[in-house]
Amino acid sequence: MDAHDQEPHDCFRSTLGLDDSPRARLACCLCMLALIPSVLIVTNAVQMFFISYAKNFFVPPSQFGVGSPSPVRTLSSAFGAAAGFRSKVVFVNNGYTGGDIERLINQVSDTVRMAGKTVEVVSTDRDLLQACPSSLRGVSSCYGAASFYSSPTDGTSGRWNYTLLADGNLATKIYVNQNTNDQELYTIPLQHAIDSAIATIDGSSLPADVDEYPFTRQTQEERARAITRAYQGTIINILAVAFYLAIVGITYQQVGQMASERELGMSQLIESMMPNSRRYQPQAARLLANHLAFDIIYFPSWVISGVIIAYLVFPDASKALLIFEHIFIGLSLASFNIFFGSIFRRAQLSGITTTIVTIVLAIIAQLGVGKNGSSGAVIVLSLLFPPMNYIFFIINAARFERIGLAVNLAQNEPSGTWNFPGIVFWIFMWVQIIVFPILGAMVERSLYGTASSSRTLKYGLDASSSPVVLSGFSKHYRASWFKRIFRRKANEPFVAVNKLSLEVRHG
């Protein structure tokens, strides 16, 4: 059976030590390696989607547009459809008794009591605070209230004048495709009951069938765009750094891998296997391979992140522009990681240290320079640090989107804070992709070279010579002093390798 034919449970059996065969171990390794890119892609995509969709967490869910007509509920049927704990209706007569206002209140009160609800009549609007005490969320036990200010027989205006009142937490959302909105359950039925009573008192009547239909001034698409544009202010002020957190995973993994290879001597071993006379070539090949390996692993997540942010955060912008932005910033971060990874001798804390440093740079770009920084400061920091470059680009795009414009790399951002076009950020990323690996190679060679404390390598210029030569190589082991005291034979060294001569030819 080939390694790729192993069942998934064989991988776990090998991991748990239930199957120690070489074939099973190989299958386990392949299974785990195949999972790594998928996990990274899914994790980054979920993070980016959560941050991009967060704008919908701060507005009530609604369906905007124009709904379909439906009959206005009677007050009795509205009581049955409303929340059961809202069991009281309050009328404010404002001191008018013995006239049409009192007659109307009595008539509507009979309907309320017949539906099993409670009626309370108070003298002033201030008394509503006692009749309908509400919680911090604006919720009370009152179905609604009506305050009457005049009628043909009360007051000085000679006409009906009243105001409906309801809890503050009602009517915060609307679904035009439904007929169970708060307005249709609370406000309109109570208003219709009062207007019907007014018509009866005046000697007339309202039509038996009255239709209602919900509508909004904005369409659903216009509302979504309005939310997106309002969301841009949050991105400009604080949230751009959250998008960076969704792509920073490559920093932790790549820097830690580089430092681990150096600590274990793998970097030296890899370069020693290449017979190039120009010793920068093996180092360049190793660093380039490191760069490409992580580029391949993270490339799908960069593309997916660009697609998510293009459709959910910047719908007016070019989708291709945002996808390439995330590809370029990913390549730039990979190059920056090579530079930063060349500093560490040991793997311990290297990845987390670099990740924290880059996040701090992103926070400084968001909260400091991004708000009040001059054009010169933004240009310099964008050139030196890819995390800051990314934050500044996101802020630049948000300033375009906030006023309903697509981001334009050939124009200055519309707020006038930075006096240079957005293409500058891209040029700097291209420079960083090329320059940082070169600087990293120079720093690595100046700090560590390719030698370790246990090996010394010499490179011959003669192409015909063998790259590895052992002459009279021996390896002796001596017993510990304790064993040498009690065992006579222990005084003699154990010969593991005795005068071995060996040449390893090219290839």
Q: What is the pLDDT of residue 386?
A: 95
Asked if pLDDT for residue 116 goes beyond 60, the answer is yes
Q: What is the pLDDT of residue 489?
A: 66
DSSP string for 111-128? HHHHTT-EEEEESSGGGH
Asked if pLDDT for residue 287 goes beyond 70, the answer is yes
Mean pLDDT across 314-337: 93
Instruction: Give exposure, 110-133, as e/b (b: 16+ Cβ within 10 Å).
Output: ebbeebebebbbbeeeeebeebbe
pLDDT tens digits, residue range 77-112? Answer: 998 888 778 889 999 999 998 899 999 999 999 999
Asked if pLDDT for residue 32 goes beyond 80, the answer is no
For the chain, give the mean pLDDT.
Answer: 83
Other Cβ atoms within 10 Å of 449 Cβ, number: 13
459 φ/ψ angles, rounded to the nearest 5 degrees? -110, 120
Q: What is the pLDDT of residue 89?
A: 94
Q: How many residues in total does the chain contain?
A: 507
Asked if pLDDT for residue 303 goes beyond 50, the answer is yes
Edge-first strand order for the sheet with 88-92 is 118-122, 88-92, 142-150, 161-165
Question: Which pair of structure tokens corresponds to residue 22?
Answer: 């070489």
pLDDT tens digits, residue range 440-472? Answer: 988 888 877 654 444 455 555 555 567 778 888
144 φ/ψ angles, rounded to the nearest 5 degrees? 175, 175
Pairing of β 142-150 and β 88-92 = parallel
pLDDT tens digits, residue range 9-28? Answer: 444 444 444 455 556 555 55
Q: What is the pLDDT of residue 1?
A: 36
How far CA 97 is from CA of 92, 94, 107, in Å, comes to 11, 9, 14
pLDDT band (50, 70, 90) for residue 226? confident
Question: Which pair of structure tokens corresponds to residue 267?
Answer: 């970097």
Percentage of the residues of the chain whose pLDDT score is greater than 70: 86
Mean pLDDT across 330-338: 94
Asked if pLDDT for residue 427 goes beyond 50, the answer is yes
Asked if pLDDT for residue 325 goes beyond 80, the answer is yes
Q: What is the pLDDT of residue 22?
A: 55
Structural domain spans, the chain: 70-212, 224-447, 468-504
Question: Which pair of structure tokens corresponds to residue 323?
Answer: 């996808």
Which of 57-66, 75-84, 395-404 has the highest mean predicted lDDT (pLDDT)?
Answer: 395-404
pLDDT tens digits, residue range 158-195? Answer: 899 999 999 988 888 889 988 889 999 999 999 999 99
State how far the Cα of 287 lies from the Cα of 265, in Å rounded to an integer. 15
Q: What is the pLDDT of residue 8?
A: 41
Question: Which pair of structure tokens corresponds to residue 369?
Answer: 């320079």
Asked if pLDDT for residue 271 goes beyond 80, the answer is no
- R_g of the chain, CA atoms, integer Å: 38
Q: What is the pLDDT of residue 460?
A: 54
How far CA 193 is from CA of 109, 167, 367, in Å, comes to 10, 19, 55
Q: Compute CA 293 distance to the chain's CA centroid, rounded to the nearest angstrom.
A: 25
Q: What is the pLDDT of residue 18?
A: 47
**DSSP collapsed to 3 states, 131-198:** HCCCCCCCCCCEEEEEEEEEECCECCCCCCEEEEECCCCCCCCCECCCCCCHHHHHHHHHHHHHHHHH
State how far the Cα of 140 lies from the Cα of 136, in Å rounded to an integer. 10
Q: What is the pLDDT of residue 415?
A: 80
Top-confidence residue, 325 or 272: 325
Q: Is the pTM of this model over 0.75?
A: no
